[in-house]
Each structure stands twice: as structure tokens, then as C-alpha cells.
Structure 1
Amino acid sequence: MSAATTSRVHQGRRSATRGTVFDETMLGTLRLDGEHHEHHEHHEHRDGPDGPDGPDGRDGRDRDRRDRRIRLDLTVSADRVMRPWGTTEARAAGRVRITGLADDPNAEGELEISPLARRRIRYRIAFTAGGRRLTLDGWKSVSPRRPVASMTVLPFTLYADGAPMGTGTLRFPLSTQLLPFLASFRFPRPHEPGAVLASRWRGEPGRTEVWYTTVTDPDTGSGLWLHHELTAPVDGSQPYAHGWAAVFPEDGPVRHARFGPVPWSGAEPGFDAGEVASRPGRLSGSADEGALHWDIAERPAGEPLFTFPRWSWNRPLLPATHMLPAARSRYDGTFTHDGRTLTLSGVPGASARIYGHGNARRWAWLHADLGDGDVLEVVAAVSTRPGLRRLPPMVFLRLRRQGRDWPRRPERGAVGWAGAGRFRADTALPTWRVTGRTALRRIRVEVTQPADRTLVLDYTDPDGRHATCRNSERADAHVLLERWWFGGWRTEAEWTLDGTAHAEVGTR
């Protein structure tokens, strides 16, 4: 076997290797050190250690009230299938809730899963509370003499800036969480963010490729939009890179500037156009002679989300395809415009990829971070191809909720069952709507793009034709998800976004 063949075999084996993903919920209590000492002194002053308010009296009940309730909802992911006899390093992301102290849906950390080799499962979870960065550190001490208790009880210490500030215990509730825990196990192929950031273009004329990022800063109410585009004209002339940056401040008009065009350099991975770059983990550049300048770090915080069928990204047979390398991300850095600097610190947003033959005849797009790790992505489009351009918009809707995607297959919203039951879209502005249902669920999405928060831009296709885009990174949205239950529709979840939705409508 040749060296090249051997290399391909090894690459095939690596690509076939699967990871492990599961969800876990734990409940418990936390005792902060300051609260413990304060109450202990109060107890001794009143009655002494053996008085009537001892462990079985009123003071014991008061001490119980000092324990704060804590809940962890985590999604754990590892790059390989877990082996109980070995040690697996895994990442964790999710939500930490502590009564009166914290409610952070963007907690993150790591697990060391080693039930037999080291007889422990260690958790280190970092989260924010009151502007401080806290760390929960503890481990389950696995024992064959107490297999159930040792695998479900997690003693921990809470740290602030490296100093302990409290202790507590978390427990995995077997009666209510065992079945959801077992059902949550998935074994996906490992994902490398850089792999989907690499250019898909292979020299064909008449192609458009896009890398874009949209961000919301909750502190200022501002929205950001960075659009990076490769265009390969249909006449086979030199491909070029160009794009724009836009900021949507809460207290002023939308500001934007274009960059490029410059010859396409074929940079890998990602996008490169002179001073502007979109690379794995980093967005940087300037426009309008430096009046707009940005340097932003990106931290992916979720698995990829394929708005169109996954096969359409791997095999570009459709007029266009769309996907998110990570369903949501966090951003740190600065965006400066006209002497004003917007500082980002862990703010939410997402990057996405488009590859195809150009812009649709009509389209609408929505990215909505719904909180608690939930995300809604919508693309409704009418193709320019003969035979398709007379059809109503095809709707690709992906709701990632509690770690699961609905509808299960992206094609469901676009084509339904042999054309019947597909989702519907009305893309008229200023308020556009998408509705649809499956057997047991239905959804209604209503998006409003106020004129003063909407930017109008001209898009150019590879064939030179133009389309008009109306984009708002401060749109409003209302999402209603209902479930059929014993003869009627009941609300399963409902979200209202006030100025934090990212939306766009395009026309010709």
C-alpha cells in the first residue's frame, strides 16, 4: 500500500470516529461561607449550642433556610466515544441557577470522566454572578460498594477569584431524570469549526460564497453585522472578495461601510480581503478608511446547525445552501465606528455560511437566540430558476431546543409530505410571518423590522443582476410553539425578542 493510500485510509478512519454528547440535570443546595458564619454566631449568642434552638429546634430550621437551591442543566460533549475503563476529557455548556445569586445560561467548563481508572467524575464549571466569575469544582467519588449513590452525588466547592466562598452538594434525581438522561445520548462525528470555514469554491464560474456574523450587545442594545463575500462571475473573469460592516446602535442611525473588491486570494481557512479577515476564532478588519474598525474573538458554544439538509452542504446540488458552524457563539473584543468604541464581553451571536449560485428571487431570514441555549434559524426563499420561481417560498426552519432540533429533518418545512403540509411564509415588510406544523407540534413566527432599524443594501449576483436586501440586527420577534395534547393545541413554549432578533428580507 502506498504512503498516499495509507494517509487516505487513516483520514477516513478519523472522519468515521464519533464523539459523545449527552444532557445532565442535577439539583442540590449551596451554603455560602459568610452566611454560615454569620448565622452560627447568632445561634450561639441566643441559646448556646445545647439550648432549645439546637439542631432539632427553630434555629435548625433557620439554618436550612440559609441553604440556597442550585440547579445545573448541562450539555456534555466529548470528541470520542466514552470508555468507562479509561479517562475521557469532555466539554460542558449550559445553565447554572442559584437562588438569589446567579442565573447564567452561558456557563461552560470541563469534565473528567474516569469512573474505573481514577474512580471519579470531576466537574469544573465557570459562570457569572453579579459581575463576578465563579467556578464550581467538585467530583463524584465512584465506589463499587455504593455504585448508585457515588455516581449520583456531587459534593462541590464554589470559588471566586481562586478563593473558596461556599460548599454544597448536587444530586442527580434518578426518578425524574434517568430516562431523559439515557435518551439524550448521541454519538455524532467530531466537528472542527475550521473545516466548514474553509472556502467551498473550486474554480467554477457563477458562484457566491458568504461568511457572515451577527452579534447583539445586551448592555447597549447595539447590533453588529459583518458580511464577507466571494463572487465568481459567470463570464469566468477574476473572482473578487468584498463585503461590508454595519452597526445598529440603539441611540442613533444605522452606520455601515463597504470594503473591497479585491482579487480573491484563496486564503485557507476562511476569508481574506486585504485588511479584512474572517478566520477560526477571530474577526478583524476596517472599512471606510478606518472609520469602522473591529477586532473580535469568537468562541463557538454549540454544535453545527444545518438550516438546509446536511447533504446539500456536502454535495451542492441545490441552488444554494446555508448552515451555522456553531448554532450560537460568544464574542469578545471591540468595534469602533466614527470615534465610538463598542466593547464586547461574552455577548451572544452567531456566524453562518452560504454557498450557491447567487441570491434568491425573494427571501427572508431570521436568527433568534432564544436564551438557555435555544436557537431558531429560518430561511424562506423563492429560487430564480425556471419552474421554481413561480412557487411560494420554500421554508427551512430549524428550532434547536433543549439540545434537539425540530423538525427532525430540514426538508420537512420546505416540501412537507409530497408537497402537502409544508410550512408557509408571508415575507411582506415591515412584519413578516412563518407558520407550520408537524404531526404533534406547530409554530408561528412573527418578525418586525422597523424602518429606522433597517439597513437597505444592494446585492450583486455573479451574472451582474441586482437584488435589494433589507437587514435589521435589532429586529423584534415573537415565536409561539404549541403541542397537540389530548384533543387540543397547548402552548409548549413562547418567546418574545425586543430588538435582539437578526432578520433580513430580500427582493428584486
Structure 2
Amino acid sequence: MSTRTPEEAGGTRGTAFRETMLGRVRLEGEDRPRPIRLDLRAAADRVLRLRGTTDARITGRIRIAGWADDPCAEGELEISPLARRRIRYRMSFMAGDRRLTLDGWKSVSPRRPLKSMTVLPFTLYDEGVPAGEGTLRFPVPTGLVPFLASFRFPRQEDADSHMAPRWNGEPGRTEVWYTTVTDPATGTGLWLHHELTAPADGAEPFAHGWAAVFPKDGPVRHARFGPAKWTGGGDGFTAEGVHAGPGRLSGSAGALSWDLAERAEGAPLFTFPRWSWRRPLLPAAQMLPAARATYAGTFAYDDTTLTPTGAPGATARIYGHGNARRWAWLHADLGAGDVLELVAAVSTRPGLRRLPPLVFLRLRRGGRTWPRRAERTAVGWAGFGRFRAAIGLPTWTVTGRAGLRRIRVEVTQPEERTLALDYTDPDGSHATCRNSESADARVLLERWWGGWRTEAEWTLAGTAHAEVGTR
């Protein structure tokens, strides 16, 4: 069992904020300057040290009129207003098929504090050769309030801190580690499920699970491992030669075998309220230590060996008393660092089983998570029903609104790409899940601007990970 307390797993605080700057740049060989706009997001692993130096990662969009528009620019930010009297920006971006670097810094001066903190002279470089010069300015009248309001001090947590077992010896509990992956070379979906079950009658706990592969063309294959005696997982799940721990998954089941390295590429994501993971008061809770990750290694089945490289996927955790009465689940990698996770479920508890599905939806987009609070989609402002789920097969939907945004998610699990498996709860009751690691999904995000307008839209063909469960 884990020796890490929930408080120890909470991590330290970091800093995140947004900034917009406008200006002009004169490119080499041109007589007239072009307008330039920089919209960036900054994230540091610590709270800002005004008397020292804070390094941050920056991502965002660079637009140079008629020449470049890259929404995936990235780089580093050095914040050192007193120690070095500068705030330095370095960002790389694409202009056509050329990769350039924007390099500049604000020279902080106590004599001219406002100007020195808001004016950014910079140089553009093309493979180390100067390609242009310009100046960006922070628009104080229109930008100061949004800039200050954007500051956040999130907990700094990594995937490793949430992989250790939670079970403390209490009967009637189940704990799950599961990973889903899409091999970009073949379009094949992978599913690795690892589970600890502590029977409600006090019998010995046991470990078991399965692996499944969803070829783009061909039947779904799966195999189970266990049950085996649970001896404690150390830093993750370990049983019968199967391991799921920080940075690595390995094992075999029947004709399937795997050895995959995992690289987390984003902060953990709490689908349910954060407190419900630390204090298990709900029937169950789910979260993702690695909400976005890439995988590399091997996965073999029958006479086929996949060798994924940079394959997108995620690792999630569940801890609770067992499965819901009905549920639907979706993990969708939306590209460009964006990800959508949702769970819609009806509890088995008396009094709750007659309610419509509670929806927990988390959209991480542009480094921000919407809605800000996980409870928002489940209970809304005035009770149940803010977000609604229509659970069925082969298609199910979730709709809802929070603030000035509303979302519609439509998931399709074709029968030939869906695997039905039985679950056994700690109390001995049974449930059936129908899982597809090659599902289709359409996500429509709209914003209110005096009327509903499309803000973003994603279509996933065979790369969504989804599941519907029933009793």
C-alpha cells in the first residue's frame, strides 16, 4: 500500500498567466514594417520570485500580417525584474516552411517602470541569422485587467505522485490503473486495464486485468491476466509479471505482450472534484495522472508487432466501491495540447439510482481547464441537469453550458470496433462494459456573443477512446 499521504501528493504551487502584446516588425529586405501580435500563455513550476529569477514555459500564437500565423509557437520566459533587471522572451514559430526565433527582453528600469515593463524590443532569427527587428508593446488600457485576472497559482503535480496504490486495507474497494493509446502509424487502439479488488466480505484481495487491441482493419482482440494475490504495488500496479508504474507499462496476457515507455506531457487532470480523490467520500472518483502522454515501445499480438513512437494516449486512475449502475466515458486527444475527458454515471446507491446521469466534463484547451470547477457540470448552479447525457449505443451524447460557453459531444462506437467485457464488483455483483479504443467523436464548443457562435470544433475518426457500461 502507499505511504504517501494525500497532502504529500498535493504538490507545491506554480504560476500561470496570459499576456498579449502588439507592435510592428521590419523584415530583412522590406521597406515597410508589418503589424505583429503575440498572444502567449506562461507556466512556471514555482511561485514568481520577484527578487530572484523565475523560468517559465511559454506557448501561444504569433501573427505577422501577411507573412506568418503560427498558433503553436513555444519557448522560454526568464522573469528577473530585480536580480537581472530584465524579462526575456524566446519563442520559436513557423513562417511557411521556415522556423524562426523571436528573441528579446524588457530592460527593467526603476526610473521608467511603466515603459520598461511594457516595451519589448526584439530580433527575429532564421537559423541564427537576423531576419528582422521590431518592438512589441503591452496595451495597458485594454490589457492590464485581463492580464491581472489571468494569474493562477496551480498545484504542481506530476504523474508519478498519483500512481502509487491508494488502498489502505479496507474491504469493499476497487482500484484501477488504465492506459489507452492510439498508434499513429496504423490507427490501432490499445487498452491496458489493471485492477485491484478487495472483496466486501473480507476475502483476500486480488489483482487482475486485461489487454486489448483494436486494429483499424480487423477484429478486436483481448486477453486477461490474473487473478493473482495482491502483494502491494510499490509505485504502481504489479502482479504476475504485469507492471504499470511511473513511466513504464509492461507485461503479457495470452497472446498479447507489451513494453511501453510513457512520457507525460501535461499536468494531472481531475475529472471529479479534486477533494473526492484525496478524500474518498463519493462512491468512486476518477482522475488522470497523465492526461496527455506519448508512448513508445512494442505491443505484440498474434503475428503482429506494433512499434509505436510518439503515440498519443493517457493514463487514468479510479478508486471507489465498484462500478456505477450505468456510465459512459470518453477520452479525446484533440491535438495541439488540447484534451477532453468526461464521465457520465448513475450511482447504484439508493436515492441516487433514480437520478439522471451526473456528468463530469473537463476540457483542457490552451493550457486552461473548462469549466473551472469539476462540480459545475454535475450540479450546475441550481441542482442537477445542467449538463445532460443520453447514454446508449452505438451513439451517445453529452450537452451542457457553463458561463458563456456551451458544448455538445457526440460519440459513436461502431459495433465491429467495440469490445464487451464483464466487470465484477467487490460485493460480487456484475456489470458489462462496451469499450472502443477506436471510436468516433464530434465536439462542438460555442461561445455567446449576443448569439451562439462556434468557438472550436473537433472531429475524431477512429481515435477517440470511449466506453458505455450497464448492469
Structure 1 and Structure 2 fold alike (TM over 0.5): yes
**Paired residues of 1:120 and 1:139 also in contact (CA < 8 A):** no
Does the alignment pair 1:449 with 2:406? no
**Paired residues of 1:23 and 1:75 also in contact (CA < 8 A):** yes
Aligned mates of 1:90, 1:138 — CA distance in 2: 15
* Aligned mate of 1:365, from 329, 341, 346: 329
SS at match of 1:311: helix
Aligned mates of 2:464, 2:75 — CA distance in 1: 27
Opposite residue 157 of structure 2, the aligned amino acid is H
* Aligned mate of 1:379, from 334, 343, 349: 343
Aligned to 2:207: 241
Aligned mates of 2:134, 2:242 — CA distance in 1: 47
Aligned to 1:46: none
Aligned to 1:496: 459
**CA deviation map 1:152-186 (0-9, x unaligned):** 33435455xxxx46655576552365544332210
Q: Structure 1 residues 174 and 138, CA, compared in 2 at 3 Å: closer, same or farther? A: closer
Aligned mates of 1:27, 1:262 — CA distance in 2: 62
Q: Structure 1 residues 87 and 389, CA, compared in 2 at 3 Å: closer, same or farther? A: same
Aligned to 2:226: 260
* Aligned mate of 1:202, from 168, 192, 196: 168
* Aligned mate of 1:430, from 390, 394, 404: 394
**CA deviation map 1:105-147 (0-9, x unaligned):** 4x76544322321234445667899999x78474425242776
Query: Which range moves more in the overlay, 435-444 or 390-399?
Result: 435-444
**CA deviation map 1:429-465 (0-9, x unaligned):** 0000112224533222111111121122121211222
Structure 1: gaps (5+ residues): 1-7, 41-54
Does the alignment pair 1:300 with 2:260? no
**Paired residues of 2:268 and 2:288 also in contact (CA < 8 A):** yes
Q: Structure 1 residues 261 and 85, CA, compared in 2 at 3 Å: closer, same or farther? A: same
Structure 2: gaps (5+ residues): none
Return the TM-score normalized by structure 2: 0.85
Aligned to 1:49: none
SS at match of 1:236: coil
Q: Structure 1 residues 454 and 17, CA, compared in 2 at 3 Å: closer, same or farther? A: closer
SS at match of 2:161: helix
SS at match of 1:395: strand
* Aligned mate of 1:408, from 348, 354, 372: 372
Q: Structure 1 residues 490 and 130, CA, compared in 2 at 3 Å: closer, same or farther? A: closer
Q: CA deviation at 1:480?
A: 1.9
Q: Following superposition of structure 1 onto structure 2, how do residues 100-139 of structure 1 map, counting pairs within 5 Å?
A: 105=72, 110-123=76-89, 136=101, 138-139=103-104
Aligned mates of 1:347, 1:95 — CA distance in 2: 25
Q: Structure 1 residues 379 and 157, CA, compared in 2 at 3 Å: closer, same or farther? A: same
Does the alignment pair 1:79 with 2:45? yes
Q: CA deviation at 1:204?
A: 0.6
Aligned mates of 2:465, 2:125 — CA distance in 1: 39
Cα RMSD over matched residues? 3.6
Does the alignment pair 1:390 with 2:354? yes
Aligned to 2:469: 506
Structure with bigger strand share is: 2
SS at match of 2:210: strand
Aligned to 2:121: 153
* Aligned mate of 1:20, from 15, 32, 35: 15
How many pairs does the alignment contain?
461
Q: CA deviation at 1:469?
A: 0.9
**Paired residues of 1:30 and 1:166 also in contact (CA < 8 A):** no
**Paired residues of 2:378 and 2:384 also in contact (CA < 8 A):** no
Return the TM-score normalized by structure 1: 0.79
Aligned mates of 1:352, 1:393 — CA distance in 2: 21
Larger radius of gyration: 1
